[in-house]
């Protein structure tokens, strides 16, 4: 496992996603500053933040729970990107790229969750029944 959350590719990509979402939502109508734009920004920041916080918790079980929260925030963002596309907010090519990056991050989060689940099972086998 990585020494720091900063070493995790999924965290790095989530940071890239957050920066890109901020740029993308900057082109939204002014009336959306407290609406969809704000929701999207909070959701994408939550992805990277949950990965970071979970990795610092010290146990695979806690880390897995925060990865699940990150997956939820990522799905929330994917839903908001669909809404933005249908409302024709922002540059549509940027939106497609964001959707692809979010889907890639979703796969990475799923793989990380599965890895942590397997690590938890392995530690339970090693420690024996309680």
Quick one: pLDDT at residue 65? 98
Average pLDDT over residues 55-81: 96
pLDDT digits (tens, 9 = 90+) for 13-56: 999 999 999 999 999 999 998 999 999 999 999 999 999 999 99
Quick one: pLDDT at residue 111? 97
pLDDT surpassing 80 at residue 1: no
pLDDT surpassing 80 at residue 70: yes
Quick one: pLDDT at residue 2? 60
Neighbours of 123 (CB within 10 A): 12
Residue 25 structure tokens:
């939502």
The verdict on domain 5-127 having CATH code 3.40.50.150 is: no
Quick one: pLDDT at residue 123? 72
Neighbours of 99 (CB within 10 A): 16
Q: What is the DSSP string of 16-82?
A: HHHHHHHHHHTTS-GGGTTTHHHHHHHHHHHHHHHHHHHHHSSSHHHHHHHHHHHHHHHHHHHHHHH
Residue 31 structure tokens:
């009336």
Residue 95 structure tokens:
């939106």
Domain boundaries, the chain: 5-127
């Amino acid at each position: 496992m990585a020494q720091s959350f900063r070493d995790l590719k999924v965290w790095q990509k989530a940071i890239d996603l957050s920066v890109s979402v901020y740029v993308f939502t900057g082109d939204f109508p002014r009336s959306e500053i407290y609406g969809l734009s704000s929701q999207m920004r909070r959701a994408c920041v939550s992805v990277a933040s949950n990965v970071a916080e979970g990795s610092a918790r010290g146990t695979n079980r806690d880390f897995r729970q925060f990865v699940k929260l990150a997956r939820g925030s990522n799905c929330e963002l994917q839903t908001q990107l669909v809404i933005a596309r249908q409302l024709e907010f922002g540059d549509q090519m940027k939106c497609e790229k964001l959707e692809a990056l979010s889907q890639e991050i979703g796969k990475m989060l799923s793989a990380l969750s599965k890895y942590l689940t397997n690590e938890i099972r392995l530690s339970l086998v090693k420690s024996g029944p309680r």
